[in-house]
Structure 1
Amino acid sequence: MISSKGRGFVYLLHPTPELWTLSVPHRTQILYLPDISFISAKLNLTPGKIVVESGTGSGSFSHSIARSVTGKGGHLYTFEYHDQRVEALKNEIELHNLSEIVTLNHRDVCKDGFDLENIADVVFLDLPAPWEAVPHAAKALKKSIVGKICSFSPCIEQVQKTALALNENGFFDIQMFEVLVRSHQSKQLILHDIQSAIDGKKVTFRSNKGRKRPISSVDSDNKPPLNDDHNSNNIESKPTLADLPDPKSENQSEISILASRFEDSARGHTSYLTFASLFSNQ
């Protein structure tokens, strides 16, 4: 978009959950794109899914969930216990036109539960004590399908307690992951074959050998000057273009490869992701 006086311009970007994650006001620690993408894929978040989230926080992951489940009756029920964060989230949900897809609840699910039963395909927990919410999550998951749960925990002790609670409440296939991003710098490199490298060294050697050494003052006083014939017979001539390897010859070949290396800086630990499944046909 060009300015009214034509002296400048700005790019207008279509709003996406990814941009919101990069610019969201940090009321709490948020989930970033590597964890968000892995969780979304692991839980198979697709249009039509019903998701229950507890620990809305700043709403970073909530926006990604809302986009993933939009369509075919998909919905997000998200819970936050902090009253000031709830008010800020309500304003953002209305401003971003997510009211029909997202239902925000002010509730401490660890003590009071979700007040939902047999409704969710997926439950996501981002809580200080997620093991306290596991029994309530089991009630919220649908009984007719294999329900999925994910817990986001920074400390391994939280993972241990959550895994025990999942096992006690009938969950199976309990797995824990850690997402670490390693960025690469890549570029094209040209590799020469051995013969062309040897030929290049030969040319360099002959070029250095053919150079005249400066005559010292002592040598110039004791030795007579050499005539032209003597010079021409004893000093090897410099290499010519004919001595260079022929780039079209069979021995002169090049191979182009793509090489990469790790960047020096990398984002460290963010959290442990604990996944489990539940099937209770009752």
Structure 2
Amino acid sequence: MPERTEAGTTSRSRRSPWVSHAVLIAGILIVVFPIYYTFVASTLSLQQILRPPLQLLPGSHFLDNYYEALFGGLGRVGGINVWTLLLNTSIVALSVAVGKIVISILSAYAIVFFRFPFRMTFFWVIFITLMLPVEVRILPTYKVMVDLGLIDTYTGLTLPLMASATATLLFRQFFMTIPGELLEAARVDGAGPWRFFFDFVLPLSKTNIAALFVILFIYGWTQYLWPLLVTNSNDMNTIIIALRKMISYADADTQWHLVMVTTIFAILPPVAVVVLMQRWFVKGLVETEK
């Protein structure tokens, strides 16, 4: 009887990797298939897309569709090409990510390492802003942008999105794990606040910064409501806004082949950031010892 139990356990242990891999492969297919289907549609002509069923193999219009989107312009967004849309979206995403990190790390550094009146009060005020995202305060924020003349500008697109209570909280929690002996040693060595920040705190925070950068870049890249509200000119459209403008209520009026091409270009940069920074991203999220 014990031998049967051991044999049964061995058999189950041999099957379990196959089951795990099967589930993993099924999950990957579920995620990847819509992207592949979009790519296939981006290589077809408009007539082929409008004539169901849509084929599962790439078509022969790959070069024509991508050249038209990149250099010919998109009719429903004022003739703006994808390069301009990618430039606008990249500026927004990078500005939001870098701005949030810079503001958050400096505010967290001041809260943890400086002693001043109402220090914790300021921290809790920052923390409470988690309940006030841009969508909640969108009308007064828009009024301020109009009064400052920042409509249809990169400043108006990015500035209201830069403050981040979440990033401040994460940096504060990490800074509190830095030993006090390190700060005392830096003081004995004659290091001032800025030198301590750049020589000690910033290098220790690089994995946290990398993880937050990935999250915040995707957050800035996928913004829809605020760019829709604060931009009137087609030249300032982000790629997400352009996609919405390209789609008409009537299928015949929508250039679906160009919509699919633009969708592929909208997907590629966030995927590239995640893939290139995957090691830093995972390390920043799971690493506890610095």
Compute the TM-score of the two structures, normalised by the length of structure 1: 0.21
Q: Which structure is higher in strand share?
A: 1
Q: Work out which structure has the larger RCO, using CA pairs closer than 8 Å and 6 or more positions apart in sequence.
A: 2
As a proportion of its length, which structure holds more helix? 2
Give the number of the structure whose alpha-carbon radius of gyration is greater.
1
Q: TM-score, normalised by structure 2?
A: 0.20
